[in-house]
Amino acid sequence: MRPNLRKEIYDLSDRMRQLMISQESEGYRAELTMRDVLILDLLRQQGPMTVSQISKAVQGVTVSTVSINITKLWRGKKLVSKTKKDDDQRTTIVELTDKGKEAIEFFNNRREETFNVLFQALNLSEDEEKVITNAIGRAIKFFDMNLPC
């Protein structure tokens, strides 16, 4: 990567982080880790899931770590509920509570606002948007192939 591009990406990342920090004090953002948000958003998209299903979807994290996160989201924050499966008491089903749905909606709305600021700042032409979309698509494929499972 050329030094100028690297510097620009780092500088943009710093400014996005500053924007996100300025939003942190508002609502749930200060209370949730990135893993918490990933779990909540996964439950929003997929519906009720077992702890092992969640663990498989949160790549590179052990079942016990995910279980600890879920317990914090359940016991401490009341964002998820945990119930035992009727036919297998060893299996725990996790789902969003109303408070959890509100929290992930709040987070996703904030993320949308943050990215709208970025898109406004970039002010891309149609050709520029195509180039960046292709580059980001390659990066996503790279991460999909190389993230630990």
Residue 134: inside a domain, yes or no?
no
What pLDDT score was predicted for residue 72?
94
Percent over 70 (pLDDT), the chain:
91
> Could you tell me which of 22, 56, 141, 41 has the C-alpha nearest to residue 67?
56
Residue 149: inside a domain, yes or no?
no
At 30, which CATH number?
1.10.10.10
* Domains held by the chain: number: 1
Please say whether the beta carbons of 109 and 62 come within 8 A.
no
Which ranges in the chain belong to alpha helices (H)?
Answer: 3-24, 34-46, 51-57, 63-71, 98-122, 126-146
What pLDDT score was predicted for residue 102?
93
Residue 131: inside a domain, yes or no?
no
Residue 148: inside a domain, yes or no?
no
Residue 93: inside a domain, yes or no?
yes
Distance CA 148, CA 33 (A): 20
Please say whether the beta carbons of 70 and 82 come within 8 A.
yes
pLDDT digit string (tens) for 87-100? Answer: 877 889 999 999 99
Residue 35: inside a domain, yes or no?
yes
Residue 21: inside a domain, yes or no?
yes
Residues listed for the chain: 149
Determine the structural domain holding residue 46 and report its residue range: 3-123
